[in-house]
Amino acid sequence: MEVNDLLKHTSEWLKGSGPNSDIVISSRIRLARNLADFPFPHWANKKQGEEILKAINEARKSADYLKNTVIFNLADLDALDKQFLVERHLMSQEHAQKTDHKALVIDGEEVLSIMINEEDHLRIQIMQSGFNLSQAWDIINRVDDGFASVLSFAFLPDWGYLTACPTNTGTGMRGSVMLHLPALVMTRQINRVLAAIAKLSFTTRGLYGEGTQATGNFFQISNQVSLGHREEEIIDNINGLIRQIIDQENQAREAMLAQNKPLLEDRISRSFGILESAHIISSQETTELLSMVRLGCDLGIVKDIDRRSINELFILTQPAHLQKIENKKLSSQERDIKRAELIRDRLKA
Amino acid sequence: MLCDICGKNQATVHLTEIVDEQMTELHLCEDCARQKSAQMESQFGLSDLLAGLAEFEKPEKDLEAASLKCPSCKLTYADFKKIGRLGCGSCYTAFKKYLGPLLKRIHGSSQHLGKTPVRVAGGLKKKIDAQDLRYKLQQAIEREAFEEAAKLRDQIKELEKKQMQNNNKTGKNKNGSK
């Protein structure tokens, strides 16, 4: 499999299916693991970096359940490939920089991705469509056990899995849920919700995880604490919080429909109209308008397009994806033209 | 006095900077001071936050902590404070005394309750023992209990010898030191 082959299909997590997939885009769990016998990636020398990569790749090759995976050495990829993988949520921005001894392992469905030599030796990630952290945990738990049967992980009974940054020590686990909350934003209740989340030791980030701002109506919520609780307990806590936010968003949606349905219908239909007819459109405007159309789809106001197609458009209209589709480098202006063209084509179909 | 940066406005903010033990004084107008402080904020990253969390209560402890060095990867506690990242798994044992309170401050707990790697019963267990012994050794040296330290040193040597033999048997010989 080549990087370009990924263009031919939709990532599993974008399918728009699974529990509460009207409000929850995706659920993700990642585990941070380190080999006991080597320094952490930032402190390892060249030789050690290569040995770490080799040991993990050997473990991958020997595991039956990882036989459908491929590995990409980041040093072999160009800047566009790397940006493309970041846009697909398969790896972090950080992983795309300073690529020595770094690699990415993914499976065909793009459910599993493993960053090798990012901040930790292993960053294992499972992505699921909809509100589905428990299933993601079942899968990742097995993958982790598989690796642990052939690799010795840095671990202390008192402090759990040892990570480069003490904020990940313990379970090394971060559970994240990506939410689409347009009604809470439009009714100006979102700040109150975000403040409550922060008080409960959870963090809110943007579409692209660590270091990104929450843009538009998308919010990624994850646990901050990784030590002192069992993995299932952490997941239960996130689930409880997410359920409450889903309720609030649903209430806000109902209130908007009850109070001023024509206004909401107008805004959604106008958004659809612009997407259908624009000839030049920026990435930011696309995200904002698609968000409205997705809400319209959830509320039955937009009937001509399904949730999966909207989800796909969010990713396909990103800069590196557009350039991959066109198979050439495009300036920002050229991208805005191609983006509008792609959206028009897709909405017609 | 006029602003040192723009040279136009009256300086109302007086800033003392110490870089590499060199002290410089800056006299700035309000606008330039605001720009300067924005620059400083953008340089303020996670490592600073962690370093802030890792601040110690007493200055003498600070000195003692900064000179601590991980025997395995040679990262010092001062390095950790600067970069906000530990060097290897053994750093956790080497800096145990200071990391315990830090972990508690970050997570509200310093006791792991989650899963255990499947291999912890075998080879890794010995590694944990060696880490524990090294920690005890360091403590003994600090207390100047040299007799105890000598015993511990011998135990570590013995354990390492056994590990070497095991490694040679299985053909694995990895060295984590830098």
Q: Does residue B44 surpass a pLDDT of 50?
A: no
Residue A16 is predicted with a pLDDT of: 86
Q: pLDDT tens digit string along B51-84?
A: 555 554 455 566 777 789 999 999 999 999 999 9
**For residue A322, what pLDDT band results from cuts at 50, 70 and 90?**
very high
How far apart CA A54 and CA A64 sit, in angstroms, is 18
Residues B168, B89, A134: CA angle, nearest 5 degrees: 110
Per the document, the length of chain B is: 178
pTM of the model: 0.78
Interface test with B, best of A35, A42, A118, A152 (most B CBs within 10 A): A152
Which pLDDT score, from 0 to 100, does residue A100 have? 86
Give the residue-averaged pLDDT of A144-160. 93
pLDDT in tens, A252-302: 999 999 998 999 999 999 999 999 999 999 998 999 999 999 999 999 999
Q: Which of A60-69, A80-89, B112-121, B128-137 has the highest mean pLDDT?
A: A80-89
Question: Using an 8 Å Cβ cutoff, are A239 and A180 in contact?
Answer: no
pLDDT band at B42 (very low <50, low <70, confident <90, very high): very low
Cα distance between the two ends of chain A: 28
Q: CA A71, CA B113: separation in Å to the nearest integer?
A: 33
Q: Name residue A13's amino acid.
A: W
pLDDT tens per residue, range A157-171: 999 999 999 999 999
Segment B80-105 mean pLDDT: 94
Name the closest residue on chain A to residue B129, using Cα atoms. A156
**Residue B156 pLDDT greater than 50, yes or no:** yes
Q: Given the structure tokens 């030191």, which residue do they identify?
A: B177
Mean pLDDT of B141-169: 79
For residue A347, give the nearest of A316, A326, A324 by alpha carbon: A316
Other Cβ atoms closer than 10 A to B10: 10
Q: Which residues contact A232 (CB under 8 A, 6 or more apart)?
A: A137
pLDDT the model gives residue A98: 81
Task: Report residue A43 as tokens.
Answer: 């402190």
Q: How far apart are CA A13 and CA A10, in angstroms?
A: 8
Looking at beta carbons, which pairs linking B170-178 to residues 24 or more positions away fall under 8 Å? B174/A37, B174/A38, B174/A51, B175/A37, B176/A36, B176/A37, B176/A38, B176/A39, B176/A48, B176/B72, B176/B73, B176/B88, B176/B90, B177/B72, B177/B73, B177/B74, B178/A39, B178/A43, B178/A44, B178/A45, B178/A48, B178/B73, B178/B74, B178/B87
Q: Does the pLDDT of residue A149 top 70, yes or no? A: yes
Cβ-defined contact of B114 to A231 (cutoff 8 Å): yes
- Of residues A38, A51, A153, nearest to B88 (C-beta): A38
Q: State the best of B102, B113, B126 to mutate against chain A, taking most chain A CBs within 10 Å.
A: B113
In the predicted structure, residue B12 carries a pLDDT above the cut 70: yes
- CA–CA gap between residue A114 and residue A31 (Å, rounded): 9
With a CB cutoff of 8 Å and minimum separation 6, the contacts of A348 are A276
* Region B38-61 average pLDDT: 53
Nearest C-alpha neighbor of A111 from the set A32, A29, A232: A29
pLDDT > 60? residue B39: no
* pLDDT at residue A147 in the model: 93
At A297, which helix (H) or strand (E)? helix A283-298
pLDDT at A138 over 80: yes
Please count the residue pairs, one from chain A and one from chain B, whose beta carbons lie less than 8 angstroms apart: 143
> What pLDDT is attached to residue A50?
95
d(CA A284, CA A215): 9
Q: Do B114 and A45 touch (CB under 8 A)?
A: no
pLDDT tens per residue across span A196-238: 898 888 988 877 655 555 567 999 999 999 999 999 999 999 9
Task: Please give the backbone phi and psi of residue B175, each rounded to the nearest 5 degrees, phi first.
Answer: -120, 125
ipTM over 0.90: no
Question: What integer is the mean pLDDT of A238-262?
Answer: 95
Nearest-by-Cβ selection for B109 from A148, A227, A231: A227
Higher pLDDT, B147 or A322: A322
Q: What is the pLDDT of residues A56-90, one digit of tens each?
A: 999 999 888 888 899 999 999 999 999 999 999 99
Are A159 and B110 an interchain contact pair (Cβ–Cβ within 8 Å)? yes
Helix (H) or strand (E) holding B105: helix B96-107
Centroid of chain to Cα A166: 23
The mean pLDDT value for A305-332 works out to 94
pLDDT higher than threshold 60 for residue A146: yes
